Amino acid sequence: MGNYKNLENDFVQRTMELIAQYESIVYKFEYKNQYNYTLLINCLLGLVVLPKEKSLTYLPSNLLDEKLKKEMGLHHSIINSKYNTISKLIVALRHSISHFNIQVISDLDDEFAIDQIIFEKDYNQTKIHVATFRANELLPFLRYYASWLLSEINNKKQSKKH
């Protein structure tokens, strides 16, 4: 278990390791008892909501163009064009997650499999679409974001030392 040496960095790293640990044992469970997306939504709390206060300064203003979306594993997911930078998207996702404005959609109603995860935020009592992730693209997005976030945290800490 161990103590945190660097809470900000370790928490992001350990959240991603939890996902990897789950992936290594999920096959042991019947399909109806596999909670992949429940875990991923919980991990969004740890990767987007909790570190937001400290990591907001690390969020780049990189344009979220088609090339970057593909690097993130987003081939069929839809992001509102209003959130056209990584920082705007992460802040909007943070609002959606922290206020639990999330919907899950099954393309086959009778199967109840999660095919899409929709994130919205409230603005003046109106729901604003933030993003619709294809279920199979959420984990690659999280991996990309977590890797990038860890890199930025470490870069900022290194620059403070010098």
List, for residues 60-96, the tens digit of each pLDDT value. Answer: 778 899 999 999 999 999 999 999 998 899 989 999 9
d(CA 152, CA 60): 9
pTM: 0.85
Residue 34 has pLDDT above 90, yes or no: no
Report the candidate in 9, 36, 12, 8 with the shortest Cα–Cα distance to residue 144.
Answer: 12
Residue 131 CB: number of other CB atoms within 10 A?
Answer: 20
Residue 110 has pLDDT above 70, yes or no: no
Residue 45 confidence (pLDDT): 85
Burial bucket for residue 118 (CB in 10 Å: 0-12, 13-18, 19+): middle
Residue 87 confidence (pLDDT): 86
Q: In terms of DSSP bridges, do strands 102-105 and 78-79 run parallel, antiparallel, or are they unpaired? A: unpaired
Residue 97 confidence (pLDDT): 92
Residue 38 confidence (pLDDT): 85
